Structure 1
């Protein structure tokens, strides 16, 4: 299985604060990968470094065998990367339907396309709220809309920051079920979340950050074998 995303020796700073210390990992085509760690350990900084929101002091990001270094965020996203940010990023003046339609973009490489009808079939709640503004939805519905909007771009890689943070248990279960469906459709995913029990079942590969360094990397069997050590890093 070939690499879709390659992250090599990222060192990223906020001013004089050195946050990432040589972070490296790969995501292969079709893989679901978890990125775990306590708050403030560098997870979101890693995502922003991949997306070009932050410029690493050194290191390299490659996607689809192409170097992304120096490219602005919008050009990286145009290479079929989609991002669901923490906080969901709703537009105050757009309805649910407009959020979805404005993001629509084909991808000729994909066998399974995520179009408007497919997204609404995956998120029936959105079908009932098409005329509502995105900001009028509940937190769970906003997360569904944020994921649906991202899928409308037909990405090769979907990045989810705090995929189920702050959501009610039943809504979290719905989101995890959708992530399973996304994986089955062939979309690679990079998932930031704290639910190690669910992540070990959904994801193929796992990364744990501690103070901006990769302290664990392995598959689900390795995660299970080293569960006590990983949970100590996560504080659970």
Structure 2
């Protein structure tokens, strides 16, 4: 099967600080992949290197067979990649409705499987708060809006950084249910989160980083077989 995303031997530095040491993995169309590790191990830097928000010193990123390593972030995103950042990235002067309408577009095939109405049906709370500013929402509602804003771009790859961090248990469950729906719709996902129990059930492949290096890369069955080892990497 053709790879949707290929990440090859990324070395990324912040000044003199060498953060990523040869990180590499791939994703097939429709796959959900977890990216796990303790704080400061390079998860967000890996995502930013894929998106061009930071430029790797060396290594390559391919999307749908095309090398995108040197492209600016906006060009990468137009190739049907969407990003839900840690912190959610609300625009201070836009309402819920404006966040969704501003981002909406069909994918490069002209398909629009996730339109404005489908996002509101998926997140009924947003329907009730259309005229509220994004910054006036609760943390859980902001995460719903950030995911909805990403979905209306109709991506082939959705990247979620700290998908449920800091959310109340009921909201976390709601977000996980939506991510399952997203996967069922055929969108590939990279999910950064700490909930190994849910990730084990939801994702097809699991990547664990320790000090900017991939120390584990395997399927869910492989994760079960080496669960004690993986939990030791995560400090569980």
- TM-score range normalised by the length of the shorter chain: over 0.9
> What residue is the counterpart of 1:67 in the other structure?
67
Secondary structure, in 3 states, of the residue corresponding to 2:194? coil
- 1:182 pairs with 2:213: no
> What residue is the counterpart of 2:6 in the other structure?
6
1:142-181 map, 5 Å: 142-181=142-181
CA contact (8 A) 2:88 2:143 kept: yes
Q: Find the aligned partners of 1:6 and 1:235 in 2 and give their Cα distance.
A: 28
What do residues 38-57 of structure 1 show as CA deviations (whole Å, max 9, x unaligned)? Answer: 00000000000000011101
Gaps of 5+ in 2: none
**How far off its partner does 1:203 sit?**
0.3
- 1:28 pairs with 2:28: yes
Q: Find the aligned partners of 2:133 and 2:146 in 1 and give their Cα distance.
A: 13
CA contact (8 A) 2:11 2:21 kept: yes
Q: Find the aligned partners of 2:52 and 2:69 in 1 and give their Cα distance.
A: 8
**How far off its partner does 1:112 sit?**
6.7
C-alpha RMSD over aligned residues: 1.0
Q: Find the aligned partners of 1:224 and 1:145 in 2 and give their Cα distance.
A: 33
State the 4+ residue runs in structure 1 displaced beyond 3 angstroms.
108-112
Q: Find the aligned partners of 1:26 and 1:225 in 2 and give their Cα distance.
A: 21
TM-score under structure 1 normalisation? Answer: 0.98
CA contact (8 A) 2:111 2:154 kept: no
Gaps of 5+ in 1: none
**How far off its partner does 1:69 sit?**
1.6
**How far off its partner does 1:108 sit?**
5.1
CA contact (8 A) 1:112 1:185 kept: no
